[in-house]
Amino acid sequence: MTTRHGLEIRAADAVDAPGLAELLGAPPAAVAARLERMRAERATVLLAVEWGPPSGLIVLHARQGLLADRPQGVVSALLVAPEARRRGIGRLLLKAASQAARMAGCGDLVLAAPLEAEGLAEFCQATGFSPAETGFSRPLRKGG
């Protein structure tokens, strides 16, 4: 999907379960089952891969609500391995998820996370998000 200096952002597949299990600290079989459920739910799971197991992931769901004409792109997970942080991987994952959300017709992107998560407010502010009821939000289109 996207590459930069040896880093590739691409869709997750079942063969990625062992590497994701290492990143998440979960059993590979459980991660494989979760990936399959997410595929059935039409969620988008993107990975940041350099050499070896994934160094980051983002999970995006397009959800239609009653209050807006367009669905919302909801990021339910954004994780970068501790040793890979502060290198722009989170920003690249957000950029790829934003593009996927636009392609799904979403009007805004919501990062569903606790407002008090360490360092999250600063990261969100630096990437154009504003505090919202259930996390952080930003429009996907100018003037939107």
What is the crossing angle of helices 17-24 and 28-40, to 10°?
110
> Is the sign of the CA dihedral 104, 57, 88, 54 positive or negative?
negative
Regarding pTM above 0.85, the answer is yes
Where exactly are the structural domains of the chain?
2-139
Q: What is the mean pLDDT of the chain?
A: 88
Q: What is the pLDDT of residue 120?
A: 81
- Express each pLDDT in 83-134 by its tens digit: 888 889 999 999 999 999 999 999 999 998 766 677 788 888 888 888 887 7
Looking at the structure, give the CATH architecture of the domain made up of residues 2-139: 3-Layer(aba) Sandwich (3.40)
